[in-house]
Amino acid sequence: MRIGVLTGGGDCPGLNAVIRAVVKTAIHQYNDEVVGIKDGFSGLIHNHTFALDLDKVSGIMPRGGTILGSSNRDNPFAFSQTVDGKRVEKDVSSVVVDNYNLNKLDCLIVIGGDGTLDIAHKLSAKGLKIIGIPKTIDNDLSATDTTFGHDTAIGTVMDALDKIHTTAESHHRVMVVEVMGRDAGWISIAAGIAGGGHIILIPEIPFEIGKIAETIYQRKARGKHFTVVVVAEGATPKGGDRTIKRIVEESSEKVRLGGVGEMVARELESITGLEARTTVLGHIQRGGSPSAFDRILATRYGASAVFHAHEGDYDHMVALRTPEIVAIPLEKALHQMKRVPLEGSHVVTARRVGISFGD
């Protein structure tokens, strides 16, 4: 076979491990050819491709990011162009089909999150043979137990919390750490537990500033004159809404979250009189060398994707259903956000050890 592979959406640790596994499995097991497609679907729109061989993937497993490049702007069904000074969206999916055929591809492996895989599913309806691989540090795809990149992001946040603990304790401060995750609290709750957070605010549990202040007072009464608060970017106050940093109309993700950490710190300082500082970890959570867990999971995904391509399981996505990697139809895997269950083990465990959710 001649297999194309692309990475779409935001980058995350483990993408290169997937690419490496695809190439090595395709060549060693099936004597396939692999074509790398640059910058997500942009590469199929503009026909920017190159041959992927064993030499090109040698040594890339520890590297963050993706050697293919990525993009979350180039949806071929709504490709943004400037015409007569005005920005318009055009359906160029037929160009993608033409370039798929021009490159003589027998299959396209698409690595991405919900938006990228939705595009892949639509391209399947136009005749492209596609296998999807789920990717997001947010771990919010319901069809798989976990996504690669998530474990590494947790480790990055945990390391930051370890460091923030020391300055919080030294200066008797309230330290608020804002982390990614959008509308799911998986990163914040997992990293908060692992990093010794005292208060964790997640989108699934609306918080009250007064309740957070009570926890701080209780800690102070026990002789603990500092508090570490972990806040998911999509966390919301009771009766309120998400804190939006800005709106980017031309982006596939128009709503950019951010600022909830600063809001929480400001209100806590006003109520408690304690000095409160905010740290926003931002895109540092997307970078770095993938953890051992993510390297193994990414390798399993890549190898399984090539296997299922040869089995003819097109318009499917590989997914972790512990302990197996299985293939499920893309239409059943999309548009179902996996949120932190309120009665699940993460929340229950956190409450048992005295962590507050501000509720």
Q: Tell me the pLDDT tens digit for each residue of 169-179.
A: 999 999 999 99
Q: Identify whether 290 is preceded by a cis peptide bond (ω within 30 of 0).
A: no
Q: What's residue 249's pLDDT?
A: 62
Q: What's residue 250's pLDDT?
A: 62
Q: How many C-beta neighbours within 10 Å does residue 67 have?
A: 16
Sign for the CA dihedral angle at 36, 37, 38, 39 comes to negative
In this prediction, residue 54 has a pLDDT band, given cuts at 50, 70 and 90, of very high
CATH 3.40.50.460 fits 151-286+341-352, yes or no: yes
Average pLDDT over residues 23-46: 97
Calculate what percentage of the chain has a pLDDT beyond 70: 98
**Residues 25, 31: Cα–Cα separation, whole Å:** 9
Secondary structure (DSSP) of 172-207: T-EEEEEE--TT--HHHHHHHHHTT-SEEE-TTS-B
Average pLDDT over residues 37-65: 96
Catalytically annotated residues: 138
The one-letter code for the residue type at 165 is: H
Q: What is the CATH number of domain 2-148+290-322?
A: 3.40.50.450
Q: Tell me the pLDDT tens digit for each residue of 90-143.
A: 999 999 999 999 999 999 999 999 899 999 999 999 999 999 999 999 999 989
**Residues 142, 317: Cα–Cα separation, whole Å:** 12
Q: What is the pTM of this model?
A: 0.92
Q: What's residue 81's pLDDT?
A: 80
pLDDT above 90 for 247: no
Q: What's residue 248's pLDDT?
A: 66
Average pLDDT over residues 233-262: 81
Do 2-148+290-322 and 151-286+341-352 have matching folds?
Answer: yes
Structure tokens at 241: 């809404």
Cβ proximity of 72 and 297 under 8 Å: no
Cβ proximity of 70 and 38 under 8 Å: no
Secondary structure (DSSP) of 34-81: EEEETTTHHHHHHT-EEEE-HHHHTT-TT--S-TT---SS--TTSEEE
Domain ranges of the chain: 2-148+290-322, 151-286+341-352
